[in-house]
Amino acid sequence: MTAHRPLLIAPSILAADFANFGAECAAVEAQGADWIHVDVMDGHFVPNISFGAATCAAIRPHIKGVMDVHLMISPVDAYIEDFARAGADFITAHVEAGPHIHRTLQAIRASGAKAGVALNPGTPASAVADLLDLADLVCVMTVNPGFGGQKFIDMSAKVKTLREMIGDRPIHIEIDGGVDPVTAPIVAAAGADVLVAGSAVFRGGSVSDPAPYGTNIRAIREAVAGVYV
């Protein structure tokens, strides 16, 4: 099912120290993070405001690997170039964010970034059926977007459906929301290969004491080791 790709852990800096993003990104990468997940919220598509493209550009030099930008904004298209210029490797937009997600994914790829499409918990897998040729990543939300630290909503049936729909295409299935060592195996067994985790990674650590980040990342990896094959 997923044997051809490694399981990737993408800490969400929504749970990091906002006054210290650059150092937090470097610290969590040094502790074993595969990607850095960056949550952009506009107070309109979701009921919370986080930060925008200028913050992404500021943290980019502190990230050695992949910067994975999750846009919880509407409209999207006018801002794609800003996030691409900020150095996003993946730009993910929500299927619910507007009437023209197909055009949005085209625009993301045209910007040079890889294109992701996100699904809220209430949106079925079928919503991306005609988008897979334009997508490098499908993000399955396991919380209603807008806040970190929420309780996991089991979307494993949707993940299984997506994995079948995707087949052999090189498209990541990313899980976002409430991922920890208890919930990670549920979605990894269903076919997800990128796990976003904010609270469960940053809990207990800090830039001056980053070792807990590594412990928390390893705990998630060890929890999925038996089921991710």
Ligand X SMILES: O=C(CO)[C@H](O)[C@H](O)COP(=O)(O)O
Q: State how far Cα 124 lies from the chain centre.
A: 18
**From 24, 42, 176, 193, residue interacting with ligand X (rule: CB under 6 A):** 176
What is the distance between the alpha carbons of residues 155 and 160, in angstroms, rounded to a whole number?
A: 9
Q: How far is the CB of 93 from Fe ion (least distance, A)?
A: 12
Does residue number 188 form part of the binding site for ligand X (CB under 6 A)?
no
Of 80 and 139, the one with the shorter C-beta distance to Fe ion is: 139
**Catalytic residue selected from 39, 42, 136, 193:** 39
What is the distance between the alpha carbons of residues 91 and 71, in angstroms, rounded to a whole number?
A: 7
Stretch that binds ligand X, among 17-25, 98-106, 119-127, 145-153 (CB under 6 A): 145-153
**Catalytic residue selected from 68, 136, 176, 193:** 176
Helix H or strand E segment including 95: none
Residue 58 near residue 22 (C-beta atoms within 8 A)? yes
Active site residue 176: yes
| SS3 category, 92 | strand
Residue 187 near residue 175 (C-beta atoms within 8 A)? yes
Stretch that binds Fe ion, among 106-114, 149-157, 163-171, 173-181 (CB under 5 A): 173-181
Residue with tokens 């929504």: 14
What is the distance between the alpha carbons of residues 224 and 229, in angstroms, rounded to a whole number?
A: 9
Does residue number 221 form part of the binding site for Fe ion (CB under 5 A)?
no
Site string for ligand X, 26-65 (x = CB under 6 A): -----------x-x--------------------------
Does residue number 177 form part of the binding site for ligand X (CB under 6 A)?
yes
Catalytic residues, by residue number, are 39, 176
Residues that bind Fe ion in the complex, under the rule CB under 5 A = 39, 70, 176
